[in-house]
Structure 1
Amino acid sequence: VGYSYFHQKLLDWIVDRMNNQPDEGPMNNIAELLRQADYPHKAVISIGATRYTEFGQHHFLQPGDTSIVAVYNARKYHHTDIVTMAEQENFSEDISYLVQTVV
């Protein structure tokens, strides 16, 4: 399965969700939470397994699955480089990454 949002499309989607996401189901009204926090200057953005797509409504991580998040300079690395590093679980020193196994 490929990513449906990547690079600028992902960043644009995050900004849109931060400004317009309703408080329903697994979602929170992020704009209201930011207001309550007095609009912090920095934020930590994390990924999750919510059901935003048809695929996500029917497919879930299972025990033994591995998830990998990598933050890298796209001017230096192509996403295929990152895929190769992820497959080998061997990342360059200038890449931040998190590897987790579902238990």
Structure 2
Amino acid sequence: MSGEAAVVARDSVPIGRLIRSVRHERGLTQYQLADELVLASGNESLGRGEVSRWERGKRVPGPYWQRHLSRVLELPPDELRAAARTAKQLRWRQ
């Protein structure tokens, strides 16, 4: 599967599921991802609890954290934005 096809396949996935999937692919725990995001951003306000809320769909990371997630998880920013839109649409339907 080409990289372009992989983006299309994950395009309709909510951001929480995308974060969890890529975190697992990279062999990271929620604690480790939170630590990586703190290092990348210089913002110590993030912890494992927030990563958990993102992954469970309780919260959607905003543009600030999406930028750092893109770098840490090596995901295209457009893919994260699309996944965030999907998550918000699913929340509105409930």
Shorter-chain TM band: 0.3 to 0.5
Higher relative contact order (CA 8 A, sep 6+): 2
